[in-house]
Amino acid sequence: MAATTALLPIALTAQTALTPPDSVFGYKDFSTQAKIDQTFLAVPDAKLAGEELKTLTAVPHIASSKEDYATAQYVAKKFKAAGLETTIVPYKVWLNLPAESKITATTADGKPLMSGPTPEHVSHDPFQDDPRVIMPFNGSSASGDVTADVVYANYGRPEDFQKLADAGIDIAGKIVIVRYGMNFRGVKAYIAQEKHAAGLVIYSDPADDGYFRGDKYPNGPYRPDTGVQRGSIQYMFKYPGDPTTPGIASTPDLPMSKRIPPSQATSQPTIPSIPISYHDAAPILEAMKGATVPHGWQGALPFTYHLGGAGAVKVHLVLKQDYQYRTIWDVIGKIPGTEAPNDWVVAGNHRDAWVYGAVDPNSGTAAMLESVHGIGELLKQGWRPRRTIVFASWDAEEEGLIGSTEWAEGHADELAHAVAYFNTDVGVSGPNFDASAVPSLKEFIRQVTKEVPSPKGGSVYDQWKKQQDQRPALGVQEHASKESAHLDNDVEIGDLGSGSDFTPFIQHLGVPSSDIGSGGPYGVYHSVFDNYAWFTMNADPTFVYEQEMARVFGLEVLHMADADVLPYDYVTYAREIEEYIGAAKKKAQTEGLTLDTSAAEDATKQFLAAAKAIKAKQDHPSGNDAALNTSLRATEGDFLSAAGLPNRPWFKHTVYAPGEYTGYAAVVIPGVNEALDAKKAEQAQAQLAVLTEAIQRAAATLEKAGE
Amino acid sequence: MAATTALLPIALTAQTALTPPDSVFGYKDFSTQAKIDQTFLAVPDAKLAGEELKTLTAVPHIASSKEDYATAQYVAKKFKAAGLETTIVPYKVWLNLPAESKITATTADGKPLMSGPTPEHVSHDPFQDDPRVIMPFNGSSASGDVTADVVYANYGRPEDFQKLADAGIDIAGKIVIVRYGMNFRGVKAYIAQEKHAAGLVIYSDPADDGYFRGDKYPNGPYRPDTGVQRGSIQYMFKYPGDPTTPGIASTPDLPMSKRIPPSQATSQPTIPSIPISYHDAAPILEAMKGATVPHGWQGALPFTYHLGGAGAVKVHLVLKQDYQYRTIWDVIGKIPGTEAPNDWVVAGNHRDAWVYGAVDPNSGTAAMLESVHGIGELLKQGWRPRRTIVFASWDAEEEGLIGSTEWAEGHADELAHAVAYFNTDVGVSGPNFDASAVPSLKEFIRQVTKEVPSPKGGSVYDQWKKQQDQRPALGVQEHASKESAHLDNDVEIGDLGSGSDFTPFIQHLGVPSSDIGSGGPYGVYHSVFDNYAWFTMNADPTFVYEQEMARVFGLEVLHMADADVLPYDYVTYAREIEEYIGAAKKKAQTEGLTLDTSAAEDATKQFLAAAKAIKAKQDHPSGNDAALNTSLRATEGDFLSAAGLPNRPWFKHTVYAPGEYTGYAAVVIPGVNEALDAKKAEQAQAQLAVLTEAIQRAAATLEKAGE
């Protein structure tokens, strides 16, 4: 139990107060924690969150800029004011900024079709004309000056490129134009590069986040004609972070001899790539000839789309990337634990933005600052956490999860027994709460959300469930995957793929992780229009969802820091793995591949039995559960394999990884499933053996703890 | 057996010749018929069909025009040349032509948005500038001069209007703008009128038959920006034909005292309606305000659609209809039967077109003329049919199935024992054969198509099956319904709804009917661009599908005219009715309505048993089957009810009708299903009793014939 003095609860307003639960998983007696929670919940302030958001997003603040450093100082000041032991941690990392970006298109006989990029502009926006706005570009793009015939490849998925091949279109030497959506943009570049395309143009089709979805900014939340989605094409499904230091931290004093040359970094594309608006893409697509596109490829621009490759349009790209070692700044704020100071609860959000980043990421930053504000109030009242709390404001997430990856790589030893990593990136783009997590944390998150009031009435959990029950067909979803095993009738929580800073924690180091956010129609992702004006018009005008997110995020941290027994639910974990193995078995059968799953099934049964036994122990904390907690935490670590995944050894988790060909979306039991997808039966069997050993290790750990 | 002399088969080309079947349902010995078929099949000529099509579509020839009369004379000449007893049969019917059509739109503060209609025009088309092209209008529209706020109602289906009501939008006094597709345009008008809209604007959205589907004319088959779908909004689901003479023929000498005043005709809308292009609709839709549209309502124009009703746009319609009694001309060609001259086989196609009508309807006319050509060759060789053959070239189909309805009403006594009506309307818009029919004729049609070679190799049947197995998601389908009961794994044949000239035959008079056509991408429906240039570019450049259709249509006629036993399959009919009753029972349960289906189920069992017994007799023709044939034909007539459907007594068939709220699509056991849809349990039970009696009558007729 954490050392506390008498706490003075500040009452929540009558409309929002919820009765705290009598008991919560992990606590011997929840009543003391309930009072701490009430005190905490009363602090996060909607108006303050709005002011913090306004300050953070006042000017463009891309990673490594002096404006970025100013936001680091601002966050550090807030951390310190709350009583956190705060440091600004610099790293020196290999980053590009655009020196020149040009795209022109002409007809076969040289008639000009377009010349861009056209500046992002709408009728009314107070932020668009700041000279510090970085021109649209793709992080990790190569430089290049190429002129070529152009081919349209839909979303740039493997199956899209396959359809082009089936239609007899060779993209070697061509410029490929693809639309955003359905996968991580780095995957689009990866396949285009594999197939020897000369260059890549990625545009936002109005079908996916523009007028086809709803009114465009400034009349609504969707992407206006000139809005461009910037973004990294780094092959972070190979490894994220500084491309020159996989597995180690890019500290400023790291000698060059320890770095690999950028040209040898397998996470760096060799293809030049540019993101453009549909304003600029339309004249190219409209002039293209060749076969009309297959079913499902037509977007919402007002003409028939064609595959191209017929020589009707030549595109000329001139892309000069200014690559340098640049300094970025994480901000780390600690509250030492009283009883288990070496057991860290890490909670993070990135701070850097492509431009203003009102939604992505500073809606999360403001929420985190109000979480810190609440915890600071507890500290003032004398409360101290049982375990050490670490708040982190990451830098250079946009370029490739760089600030979080470098810090995690540098703290691998401490994190080997960190009890959780809680992430929030897009904190608020609307009123719909959603989460992804490892299975062991799903019930934990549900319980937390039952304690937090929703601006719509009832609890966050109540509204979350209601919204899931009515969930319409969704459009593009960047940070969430909905492929969990659906084991019960409760609120679904997605699996962790990639696309934000939880990746190094769960997938490289095996720290139990989750990611939360509150979503809504959001068509200005990574454009100049993701700013405070858009935010207050569309996402959260009164910042009440900021307040909600601050409360949920803070409660995650508090409960994990103070629980008697670590509230990991390994029964659900076992059941999900069981489902994954069953699905892989079925897939192998469908594909006519031999896969013997009996050993894996046996191991999973063993794991499930051990999980059930340990659950009985977790349900009755003794108040002196240090040994049990050590085992519980070690179990997640057992899922790591030392060798990592085939061809991408940085990814060590045997159950969750970002898909090599999806990027954001999680692939479950990735070694097995990706081998099956590649029709490599032997490799699938070998990877299943690796997984089986991991499950056996985890089962043995739980069994030993249950003795 | 029909009287024949020795026939001299003309060989089909080696590529296309198929081996005739050994036996065919309805024939004691098929070998003689097989020779007749071979002789017939060799005659229809692709090149001649092309010439006939070119002649028929040389100038615009709307019903009642002198150009229309010229096509009647041309068809009559062809009929006579083939040896048919030919007459041109005039009717005097109530028709509108447009005297003035104007649509303008302004913003709330009077700023002009558009003024139309814009003339139909593309970069290259040799037909578009003929001064005889009729301006776009809706047949049966009221005149009117109205100015009102505008509301968007998607496809104008009942569920669309319901969604507007749910959104709190009252359309009374408003102008409603709807898009074409998903139902008959008269239904859009009918519901708008029911809800007291001031006027109706119907436009073609590019999502449905424009650039969203594929390249637009002249680069492809889809609708260009200015293309307008003309069409009738007559409430032909009440009754088709001359609105002033329901149930009787509008002969030129019919006294006015026998006609009802047009203002009392329930098939005549009172709402003014205009069809426009998306070129003209776009500025209206783009300027509309109000809520953004629900999921599925957004079309392919490049902006977000709104429901309107917010006063942002005023539309002004000025529509002057020139209504008069006008003369139309059917062409009727007979070949008297040798053995059963009173048993008619009727085969028809309409001839009138909104403009040039290359696809709709003259692709069917050219095919019919080549069928007649082939049968003329048989006549020259001395062959005579057993039953009387009647070929019909209908007029004023476009305005409301008028030529066919008036002729059928005038020949109700003879048609009471006509053995079949075979229709083709859109004969050819592409290479994909399809058919609709009463269940008793489905197997008959499949057998016919097995004898006809396809230009793609194999038989028409083979290609039809292949195409159905691969059938992609289809767009708008005007003349076919795909709601048959799917009883076997064979090629599916749709149910007969409405939308072409089979309606008076099957649904008013109980003549077993079918409709055939060969389809493909066709976005110029009812526009000036449905012309010979479009046809030879997109539908059938070498007229080989014209030839195919001539062969199938002719073989339908020949087999029905000469079969020993009428080849009606009542086993399938019984099984389909069984399915319909089962589905209605389920629907009633779902809706919580009481419906006792036991008597209907018993009657259907009785009918099925009788059908099986009679099938055994049909399988072994005696060669002297006159009495059996009379009973077989009487069975379909038994499905008529004297009272007709509730509120629309003209529709007498108890198993098939066009839906009152769908228009084209068939509603099966319509009395029952429409009562259930209206949640009227008592009426459903009463209509089920009417159906049950009909089934009992049919069963008794077959039982008696089986004795």
Q: At what angle do helices B46-56 and B66-81 cross, to 10 degrees?
A: 150
Distances (CA, A) of A103 to A145, A275, A278: 10, 10, 13
Query: In the prediction, which pLDDT does B12 show?
Result: 54
Question: Exposed e or buried b for every residue in B667-684, given b needs 16+ CB within 10 A?
Answer: bbbbbbbbbbbeeebebb
> Shortest Cα distance from A676 to chain B (angstroms)?
28
Cβ atoms within 10 A of the Cβ of A610, count?
A: 23
In A, what residues contact B, Cβ < 8 A?
206, 211-216, 220, 222, 292, 295, 298, 300-304, 472-473
Residue in B222, B295, B473 nearest the CB of A472: B295
Q: Who contacts B280 (Cβ-Cβ below 8 Å, separation ≥6)?
A: B103, B114, B116, B117, B118, B203, B226
> Shortest Cα distance from B222 to chain A (angstroms)?
10
Query: In the prediction, which pLDDT does B479 show?
Result: 35
Write out pLDDT tens, residues A173-212: 999 999 999 999 999 999 999 999 999 999 999 999 999 9
Q: A300 vs B303: CB contact, 8 Å cut-off?
A: no
Per DSSP, the three-state class of A656 is strand
CA distance linking residue B617 with residue B615, whole number of Å: 5
B398, B359 Cβ separation under 8 angstroms: no
Query: In the prediction, which pLDDT does A16 show?
Result: 60
Residue of A209, A212, A222 to mutate when probing chain B, most B C-beta within 10 A: A212
Residue in A211, A295, A472 nearest the CB of B303: A211
Residue in A211, A295, A473 nearest the CB of B304: A211
Q: B220 vs A292: CB contact, 8 Å cut-off?
A: yes
Specify the CATH number of the domain B19-93+326-562.
Answer: 3.40.630.10
> Shortest Cα distance from A288 to chain B (angstroms)?
12
Query: In the prediction, which pLDDT does B499 show?
Result: 83
- The average pLDDT across B647-675 equals 92
Residue in A214, A302, A304 nearest the CB of B214: A304
Residue in B214, B304, B473 nearest the CB of A292: B214
Structure tokens at B158: 């009942």
Cβ atoms within 10 A of the Cβ of B693, count?
A: 16
Structure tokens at B364: 């069917």
Residue stretches of chain A with pLDDT short of 70: 1-16, 471-489
Residue B332 β-bridge partners: B87, B392
Q: A304 vs B222: CB contact, 8 Å cut-off?
A: yes
Residue B348 β-bridge partners: B392, B423
Please report residues of B whose CB lies closer than 8 A to that of A206. Answer: 302
Please report residues of A whose CB lies closer than 8 A to that of B472. Answer: 295
Q: B216 vs A298: CB contact, 8 Å cut-off?
A: no
- The average pLDDT across B5-21 equals 60
Query: In the prediction, which pLDDT does A470 show?
Result: 81
Among candidate residues A275, A287, A277, the one with its CA nearest the CA of residue A314: A287
Q: Which residue of B has its CA nearest to A214?
A: B304
A555, A447 Cβ separation under 8 angstroms: no
Query: In the prediction, which pLDDT does B16 show?
Result: 60
Write out pLDDT tens, residues A417-446: 999 999 999 999 999 999 999 999 999 999
Q: B304 vs A472: CB contact, 8 Å cut-off?
A: no
Query: In the prediction, which pLDDT does A476 show?
Result: 32
Write out pLDDT tens, residues B177-219: 999 999 999 999 999 999 999 999 999 999 999 999 999 999 9
Ramachandran region of residue B166, left (φ > 0), alpha (ψ -120 to 50) or beta? alpha
Domains B19-93+326-562 and B94-324 alike in fold = no
Residue A42 phi, psi (nearest 5) = -75, -15
B481 pLDDT band, cuts 50/70/90, is very low
Query: In the prediction, which pLDDT does A662 show?
Result: 81
Q: Which residue of B has its CA nearest to A278?
A: B302
Query: In the prediction, which pLDDT does A477 show?
Result: 35
Residue in A211, A292, A473 nearest the CB of B215: A292
Query: In the prediction, which pLDDT does B471 show?
Result: 65
H or E element: which one contains A343? strand A340-350
Among candidate residues A668, A678, A664, the one with its CA nearest the CA of residue A236: A664
Q: Which residue of A has its CA nearest to B288?
A: A215
Please report residues of B whose CB lies closer than 8 A to that of A215. Answer: 292, 304
Please report residues of A whose CB lies closer than 8 A to that of B222. Answer: 304
DSSP string, B169-204: ---TTSEEEEES-SS-HHHHHHHHHHTT-SEEEEE-
Residue in B211, B214, B292 nearest the CB of A214: B292
Query: In the prediction, which pLDDT does B661 show?
Result: 87
Q: A216 vs B304: CB contact, 8 Å cut-off?
A: yes
Q: A295 vs B473: CB contact, 8 Å cut-off?
A: yes
Among candidate residues A559, A71, A85, A562, the one with its CA nearest the CA of residue A349: A71
Q: B298 vs A212: CB contact, 8 Å cut-off?
A: yes
Residue of A217, A303, A305, A306 to mutate when probing chain B, most B C-beta within 10 A: A303
Place of tokens 């509108």: B96
Specify the CATH number of the domain A570-705.
Answer: 1.20.930.40
Please report residues of A whose CB lies closer than 8 A to that of B214. Answer: 292, 304
Residue A435 β-bridge partners: A516
> Shortest Cα distance from B520 to chain A (angstroms)?
15
Query: In the prediction, which pLDDT does A2 show?
Result: 34
Q: B301 vs A301: CB contact, 8 Å cut-off?
A: no
Q: B304 vs A222: CB contact, 8 Å cut-off?
A: yes
Query: In the prediction, which pLDDT does B706 show?
Result: 83
Active site residues of B: 397, 598, 653
Please report residues of A whose CB lies closer than 8 A to that of B471. Answer: none
- Domain definitions of chain A by residue range: 19-93+326-562, 94-324, 570-705
CA distance linking residue B284 with residue B306, whole number of Å: 11
In B, what residues contact A, Cβ < 8 A?
206, 211-216, 220, 222, 292, 295, 298, 300-304, 472-473
Write out pLDDT tens, residues A352-368: 999 999 999 999 999 99
- Which one-letter amino acid corresponds to residue A69? Y
Residue in A215, A298, A300 nearest the CB of B292: A215
Residue of A225, A304, A305, A474 to mutate when probing chain B, most B C-beta within 10 A: A304
Write out pLDDT tens, residues B359-413: 999 999 999 999 999 999 999 999 999 999 999 999 999 999 999 999 999 999 9
Query: In the prediction, which pLDDT does A706 show?
Result: 83
Residue of B209, B212, B278, B297 to mutate when probing chain A, most A C-beta within 10 A: B212
> Shortest Cα distance from A375 to chain B (angstroms)?
42
> Shortest Cα distance from A209 to chain B (angstroms)?
12
> Shortest Cα distance from B298 to chain A (angstroms)?
7
Specify the CATH number of the domain B94-324.
Answer: 3.50.30.30
> Shortest Cα distance from A612 to chain B (angstroms)?
43
More confident call, B479 vs B370? B370
Q: A214 vs B304: CB contact, 8 Å cut-off?
A: yes
Whether a cis peptide bond, with omega within 30° of 0, leads into B255 is no
> Shortest Cα distance from A1 to chain B (angstroms)?
52
H or E element: which one contains A388? strand A387-394
More confident call, A44 vs B475? A44
Place of tokens 């037909």: B127
Q: A303 vs B211: CB contact, 8 Å cut-off?
A: yes
Residue of A208, A292, A474 to mutate when probing chain B, most B C-beta within 10 A: A292
Write out pLDDT tens, residues A384-398: 999 999 999 999 999
Q: A304 vs B212: CB contact, 8 Å cut-off?
A: yes
Size of interface A-B (CB pairs under 8 A): 40
Write out pLDDT tens, residues B610-651: 999 999 999 999 878 999 999 999 999 999 999 999 999 999
Per DSSP, the three-state class of B699 is helix
Q: Which residue of B has its CA nearest to A300?
A: B300
How high is the mean pLDDT of chain B?
Answer: 94
Q: B300 vs A302: CB contact, 8 Å cut-off?
A: yes
| CB under 8 A, 24+ apart: contacts of A32-38 | A32/A1, A32/A4, A33/A558, A33/A559, A33/A562, A35/A7, A35/A9, A36/A4, A36/A7, A36/A378, A36/A383, A36/A558, A36/A562, A37/A451, A37/A555, A37/A558, A38/A9, A38/A12
